[in-house]
Structure 1
Amino acid sequence: MISLLARFFCKSDGKSPAQLRTAYGILCGAVGIGLNLLLFLGKFFAGTLSGSVAITADAFNNLSDAGSSVVTLLGFRIAAKAPDPGHPFGHGRAEYLSGLAVSMLILLMGVELAKESLNKILHPALVEFSWLVIGILAASICVKLYMAMYNRSLGKKLSAPALLAAAADSLGDCMSTSAVLVATLIGHYFQLPVDGWVGVLVALLIFKGGIDAAKDTIDPLLGKPPTPEFVKEIEDLVMAHKEISGIHDLVVHDYGPGRVMISLHAEVPATGSVMTIHDAIDNIEQELHRKLGCEAVIHMDPIATDDSMTVVLRNKITELAHCIDPALSIHDFRMVPGPTHTNLIFDVVTPFGFRLEDAEVARQLRALIRTFDSHYVPVIQVEHSYI
């Protein structure tokens, strides 16, 4: 059904990737509203007919899903708004906020369902059996499974946390409705009032789905690191230019899907032409925008590439840093010779959660360098990786 509707509402004619992404997000939200409202009506009728608290609660879970789809739809529409003076980086993070709102609704429904189910455990009663009820529950499972599949497929394709949250919710609904269906059959054939216990199980499944969905949307809001694949793409693209000797201090700023800004330091030969290298940097920034869809700011770091002594000494300092820990790396290495000593100026990068404090890293590295040759005076800046 989604593929059929996409032919009419998500045509790629003249649309940018961002516009096409928004069109798919709005379509998924609209379809989710319609299907969840139908499921709510069917399950509410089944719950009323059978007197089952689990079925009725499952019906209101679908009603909250319809509300979640409204939030998803609005999130995509807001995220598609162009940048303005108050939001110069656009409104892309509204999509993450909509995903967070969806997860909060899921958690709220889990709590309410748990309260109703505990009440049913304290006051157990058999539910009325009807094959119509069984048919409605079975149809609901099929519909929710279909919704989970298309939301997950498009969520991965579009890198949309809101759709992935909706997919997780739909899959949780499949499990919860299956549990309700099994409980209804057990109650009928074995005369066991398990409706309340199954309701608690359903509530726990819904609650877990809400927590997972919240984590998926909170992480990008707080600022999670880029994927290794994206970092590799950037590195390969930049290093493909012969003017670049190395890169470091890569930082990726995520302002929402399709709104990524990056900054990095590019090591270039100190003896190269400033105009030639600057032109190469401009070309790299444009290529990053064209191929990866991100705005880039690149800082040039001149390094001595034709001075054999500097190269040898840099490699030696790298070896000494690895004596402390192989995870350490150095960059921006420069030598400033003087009449009595030579300053070695460089940055050392430590990974997240490193076992040593910054000051201790610098102290140990200075000691190793002075032991190697007391003529050298290290000037060390300890930095942290953002990838």
Structure 2
Amino acid sequence: MGEYENLKKGERGAWVSIIAYLILASVKLIIASIGNSEALRADGLNNTTDVIASVAVLIGLKISRKPPDEDHHYGHFRAETIASLIAAFIMVTVGFEVIIGTIQDIIQQNTSEPALLTAWTALSAAVIMYGVYLYNLKLSKKVNSGALYAAAQDNRSDALVSIGAAIGIFGAQLGIFWLDPLAGLIVGFIICKTAWDIFRDSTHRLTDGFDEKEIEEIRELIEAHPEVWAVRDVKGRFQGNQTLVEATIHVNPSLTIEEGHNITDQLESLLEKRLNIYYAHIHIEPYDK
């Protein structure tokens, strides 16, 4: 099916992120240690959490491609959401470590002038991550992957974090030494904020939360069909990145079973083409005022 093929293509973006984060995290942590920069160290630790998140996306995409079996009748699409939830817990742990470490440095006044090399390292990393962001953004739209789109947004935020780290380091070069650990502190909060966003989205999906605006869009699309006299109920939930929709429609009572079946086929095809909804169950009832 199309969604399984898209999940396979989406794995390329996850691999690009993993490779980029592994290289950048290693380089940043080494240079931060040599150049004595808390901001670059925090940025490097941020990238290590991004490696974990990207691996979670990759594993989730791979498991999600497994077809339905005897005890997973709807497939394995939620594996990706669970992996993201685990990654959120790991990320918040690293975020707290960065926050506590930089606060201790500020209180104990363990501040010094970082090497200029650390600032240029952060700026170079920002350029690289912005390139990864553009690649994953384009790929996410091409394969219609919500997880890859979220990863692309994370790529962009990481580029901004690196720019912030560079600003803090350049400030320390001007003698404002506390700007470097302050930049590290801000990075720590950004890590925690990203973890919270992932946690909130994952738990919302796992508890069958669904955007009311999307429900209304689905309802309007179904109501536009000339043979649908009324839409009585529309429900939606997520299986990973796949949208599952159930709807009850009322039609002309004089229609034959075959005609009613053709209407549901047309609606399911319309939902797939217009909104990329591959799983829709349309229940027909005779119109009753």
CA contact (8 A) 1:173 1:206 kept: no
Q: Would you say the 8 A contact 1:168–1:209 is kept in 2?
A: no
Aligned pairs for 1:198-237 (under 5 A) are 198-226=183-211, 228=213, 231-233=216-218, 235-237=220-222
Correspondent of 2:238 among 240, 254, 258: 254
- Describe how 1:155-234 pairs up with structure 2 within 5 A: 155=140, 158-226=143-211, 228=213, 231-233=216-218
CA shift, 1:27, in A, is 0.7
More helix by share: 2
Q: d(CA) in 1 for partners of 2:78 and 2:101?
A: 35
**CA deviation string 1:187-208 (max 9, x = no partner):** 2222533322222122122222
After superposition, the Cα gap between the structure-2 partners of 1:217 and 1:163, relative to the gap in structure 1 and judged at 3 Å, is farther
Structure number with higher strand proportion: 1
Q: Deviations over 1:98-156 (max 9, x none)?
A: 23233333322211110110111122244454343232111111122223333344445
1:81 shift after superposition: 0.7
1:288 has 2:288 as partner: no
Of 250, 260, 264, the residue aligned with 2:247 is 264
Measured after TM superposition, the shift of residue 220 of structure 1 is 1.9
Q: Tell me the distance in 2 between the aligned counterparts of 1:26 and 1:236.
A: 31
- Correspondence for 2:229 among 245, 254, 258: 245
Q: CA deviation at 1:71?
A: 1.0
Percent of matched pairs sharing the same residue: 22
TM superposition shift of 1:237: 4.4
2:209 aligned partner, one-letter code: K
Pair 1:254–1:187, CA change in 2 (3 A): closer
Between the two structures, name the one with larger relative contact order (CA 8 Å, sep ≥ 6): 2
Say whether 1:84 aligns with 2:63: no
Q: Is the 8 A contact 2:39 2:183 kept in 1?
A: yes
Q: Label 1:105 to 1:55 Cα distance change in 2 as closer, same or farther (>3 A).
A: same
Partner of 1:370: none
- Identify if the C-alpha distance between structure 1 residues 129 and 290 changes in structure 2 by more than 3 Å, giving closer, same or farther: same
Aligned match of 1:142: 127
Compare 68-77 and 281-290 and name the one that shifted more: 281-290
* CA deviation after TM superposition for structure 1 residue 34, in Å: 0.6
Answering whether residue 50 of structure 2 is matched by residue 71 of structure 1, we say: no
- Whether 1:17 and 2:2 are equivalent positions in the alignment is yes
Residue 290 of structure 1 deviates from its aligned partner by 3.0
Aligned residue in 2 for 1:324: none
Q: TM-score, normalised by structure 1?
A: 0.66
State the one-letter code of the partner of 1:100: L
Alpha-carbon distance between aligned partners in 1 of 2:199 and 2:143, rounded to the nearest angstrom: 19
- The question of whether the paired residues in 1 share the 8 Å contact of 2:249 and 2:282 is answered with no
Superposition deviation, residue 226 in structure 1: 5.0
Partners of 1:107 and 1:232 lie apart in 2 by 35
Larger-gyration structure (1/2): 1
Whole-Å separation in 2 of the counterparts to 1:66 and 1:213:
15
Letter in 1 for 2:192: F
Distance 1:160 1:107, change over 3 A: farther
Give how far 1:48 is off. Answer: 1.3
Counterparts of 1:240 and 1:158 in 2: how far apart (Å)?
28
C-alpha displacement at 1:254, in angstroms?
2.8
Deviation of 1:230 after TM superposition, in Å, equals: 6.1
1:107 pairs, out of 79, 92, 97, with: 92
> What letter corresponds to residue 245 of structure 1 in structure 2?
W
Change (3 A) 1:218 1:157: farther
Q: Secondary structure at 1:252's aligned position in 2? A: strand
Q: What's the offset of the Cα at 1:299?
A: 3.1
* Match in the other structure for 1:279: 258
Which blocks of at least 5 consecutive residues in structure 1 are unaligned? 1-15, 304-332, 334-387
Distance 1:156 1:208, change over 3 A: farther
Task: For structure 2, list consecutive stretches of 5 or more residues without a partner in the other structure.
Answer: 273-277
